[in-house]
Structure 1
Amino acid sequence: MTPKVVLVTGAGGYVGAHLAARLAANPDIERVLGVDTAPPARDLLRSMGRAEFVRADIRNPLIAKVISSARVDTVVHAATTASPAGPKSRTVIKEMNVIGTMQLLAACQRSPQVSKLVVKSSAAVYGAGARVPAVCTEDMAPKGLSSSGYAKDAVEVEGYVRGFARRRSDVRVTTVRLTNLIGPNVDTVLTRYFALPLVPTVLGYDARVQLLHPEDALAVLERATTDDHPGVFNVGGDGVLTLSQAIRRAGRVAVPMPRAALPTAARVLRGVDFSGDQIQFLNYGRVVDTTRLKKDFGFTPRWSTQQAFDDYIHGRGLRPVLDASRLTSLENRIRRSDG
């Protein structure tokens, strides 16, 4: 059943603002409210069309008043995030992810009008490590999680969502676990990482990476909002890239180093910082099974992992750090000297 009044959290960011714009373009939806602590960039705000931006903090219990006064029937929680990176902002991000989710769910629980909840979660809930299976399914329990960082936030958020679903069994709840977004217009730890001219990697490891184009992420969230697909769904592009393959495709130069040196090296190179769970990801990678998404949800991502990564490269205008002909010449010289 198509919702009448939709509230989208995280509307100040890329995903939230674009999702609010998509929903506002649907004539069957009467009203779309985009909520965040700060408005999106001016061009994003213009693109939201008839969607209304409301400056509100979901960590504040007053969010319940917004939901009740607007008679919201569908809530899309798209505010959870891992960015910006860095230890100084970590406390703020955790509060928004965890405390914000708690307050939002409390508001939804008190509202008799709310009949659907869509949650943007992350494949980070599966962790990354030697004990994590090669392909993760929705029924798996978390393994290899860091004691802090966004992965831990995502696990806590999903725990609160499951509790809400038990208390309000009348509400249809859909949780989508997105793999890492990559595209020309999104800014994440990973997009900044692959833009480094010299890319630090963990010595002795070559992680398998599954990526998701933001257009596919938005399409899934939009369908979850307008249609009824309760449950948990992995969302990721088909195929994988190893970290070394991705670095070469981007024309970057990999710099293998001991794991302990990675955070410092990344900051020195260009202000990129990593939490423990992000370093685990670069160590081991993560791949999810999307069978349930395709069969039960009825969605097949348009962009494969490789296509999403190539669109990121072309959209960002990344140029090889070293000319290919010079690299070939250098390789030939090394071979001759070895002979």
Structure 2
Amino acid sequence: MGKVVLVTGVARHLGARFVAEIRRRLDVDLVVGVDVQPPRDPVVDPPGPVADYRFERLDLRRPAVARVIAEYQVDTVVHLNVSATGLGPAGRSAVKESNVIGTMQLLGACQKAPGLRRLVVKSTTGVYGSAPRDPAVFAERMQPKNLPSGGFAKDAAEVEGYVRGFARRRPDVAVSVLRFANIVGPLADTPLCEYFTLPVLPTVLGHDPRLQFVHEDDAIEVLCRAALEPARGTTNAGTFNVAGEGVLLLSQCARRLGRPTVPMLQPVIGWVAGLVRQTRLADFSPEQLRLLTHGRVVDTTRLRETFGYVPAFTTAEAFGDFAAAQRAGLLPPERLTAVTDRLAALLGPEHAPGPGPGPGHPTRPDRTDRTAQELKPR
């Protein structure tokens, strides 16, 4: 059998898109998708010659992933199952366990796979943190001023540590760690995209942070190139920052979206962020709040000169494509309904919408009815 690629996290949007794209590459014979649940949208064969596809429903925290790697004789693993989203019913602790323990199990299975030749891990520029004394631009070899104390960024930092240990034990495997800036696009489903879909954007008073974005099309292309043989004169092994050229201020993002901003003191916006998380409007985590306070910018020289890829979209163009796909005004009806239901549950049963009047539920006369009764001649 020729090249076999195993992809984790295929139930999410980015994983599903990557599977569809990597199957079009001529030197790929089989793609094996792995996740705890099947993709929301059925897998449709793209036009033209494509690689075969198999889906294996399993939890990376279980040892069964080693069986899958051995059964299909996998030579390339693309690990996309490091999630930033903690809004699910299982909560943040289960997401962390899936991110870290799942990665440890996957690396253990890779360690025992003699035929493995390439490992690609999706990470985040969040490992650099966001702090007031940060450098203007982070390069790959620079350490954060303050290590991430929690959330997705801490998970990603731990995952990178385990990946570095794997690379030392298996020097015969080409290991790529891709630190993506915030991914945006018409269909992107990241926590920061959820923030930008709020009808009003809460911001930190006195701060207008610099932000970087990468278009989902560029993210998919970088992942594909990392999973395949590098072009002549380049290498795809190592750690690379991935972001579109240029920066945007948060205020510029709000203007492009046509959304009003509400500057708040930090204690107040922390309370608002908690309410937003409880109502499941967005995953407004403390680390995202730090990003929206201090910002973060990374250097992409290695991506261009060593990896050999120049993103097709600048930061401004990537965000513009995301903004063009957004609905103006309030939330979509289905999200608005979910939010009101959640608020009613948080406030208590007395605030929940009750049944309309019917038998056994006499209506109370409104003020107009009482006034009319008072004016009747006695």
TM-score by length of 1: 0.89
In 2: Cα distance, 1:248 partner to 1:88 partner: 36
| 1:201/1:254 contact within 8 Å kept | yes
Q: Indicate the SS of the match to 2:325.
A: helix
Aligned to 1:241: 248
Q: Which has the larger radius of gyration?
A: 2
Aligned to 2:300: 290
1:253 corresponds to 2:260: yes
List gaps (5 residues or longer) in structure 2.
231-235, 332-378
Aligned to 1:93: 95
In 1: Cα distance, 2:32 partner to 2:245 partner: 33
Aligned to 2:314: 304
1:185 corresponds to 2:187: yes
Aligned to 2:67: 65
Q: Indicate the SS of the match to 1:316.
A: coil
1:120 corresponds to 2:130: no
| 1:83/1:93 contact within 8 Å kept | yes
Equivalent positions of 1:1-339 (< 5 A) are: 4-43=3-42, 45-46=43-44, 50-85=52-87, 89-228=91-230, 229-266=236-273, 268=275, 271-318=281-328
List gaps (5 residues or longer) in structure 1.
322-339
TM-score by length of 2: 0.80
| 1:10/1:16 contact within 8 Å kept | yes
Poorly superposed stretches of 4+, deviation over 6 Å? none
| 1:263/1:273 contact within 8 Å kept | no
Once the two structures are TM-superposed, the CA of residue 181 in structure 1 deviates from its matched residue by 0.6
Once the two structures are TM-superposed, the CA of residue 267 in structure 1 deviates from its matched residue by 5.5
Deviations 1:167-215 (A, max 9, x none): 1111110111000011110112111111111110111111100001100
Deviations 1:46-86 (A, max 9, x none): 25773222111111111111001111001001111101447
| 1:86/1:275 contact within 8 Å kept | no
- How many residues align? The count is 318
Letter in 2 for 1:35: V
Comparing 219-228 with 263-272, which one deviates more in the overlay? 263-272
Q: Indicate the SS of the match to 2:28.
A: coil
Deviations 1:246-296 (A, max 9, x none): 111110011011222224324556622422211111111111100000011
| 1:213/1:237 contact within 8 Å kept | yes
| 2:86/2:283 contact within 8 Å kept | no
Q: Indicate the SS of the match to 2:201.
A: strand
In 1: Cα distance, 2:145 partner to 2:67 partner: 38
Higher relative contact order (CA 8 A, sep 6+): 1
Q: Indicate the SS of the match to 1:42.
A: coil
Deviations 1:290-317 (A, max 9, x none): 0000011110000111111111111224
In 2: Cα distance, 1:275 partner to 1:86 partner: 14
| 1:85/1:274 contact within 8 Å kept | no
Q: Indicate the SS of the match to 1:232.
A: strand
Deviations 1:29-57 (A, max 9, x none): 111101100111125x2257732221111
| 2:192/2:288 contact within 8 Å kept | no
Deviations 1:310-336 (A, max 9, x none): 111112243599xxxxxxxxxxxxxxx
| 1:86/1:274 contact within 8 Å kept | no
Q: 1:27 to 1:128 in 2, by over 3 A?
A: same
In 2: Cα distance, 1:100 partner to 1:295 partner: 33
In 1: Cα distance, 2:94 partner to 2:330 partner: 36
Once the two structures are TM-superposed, the CA of residue 134 in structure 1 deviates from its matched residue by 1.0
Comparing 232-241 with 51-60, which one deviates more in the overlay? 51-60
In 1: Cα distance, 2:171 partner to 2:264 partner: 50
In 2: Cα distance, 1:242 partner to 1:144 partner: 23
Comparing 244-253 with 22-31, which one deviates more in the overlay? 22-31
Once the two structures are TM-superposed, the CA of residue 88 in structure 1 deviates from its matched residue by 5.8
| 2:199/2:329 contact within 8 Å kept | no
Q: Indicate the SS of the match to 1:76.
A: strand
Letter in 2 for 1:306: A
Comparing 79-88 with 166-175, which one deviates more in the overlay? 79-88
Comparing 308-317 with 250-259, which one deviates more in the overlay? 308-317
Report the identity percentage: 49
| 1:121/1:176 contact within 8 Å kept | yes
Q: 1:32 to 1:207 in 2, by over 3 A?
A: same
Comparing 18-27 with 153-162, which one deviates more in the overlay? 18-27
In 1: Cα distance, 2:250 partner to 2:89 partner: 25
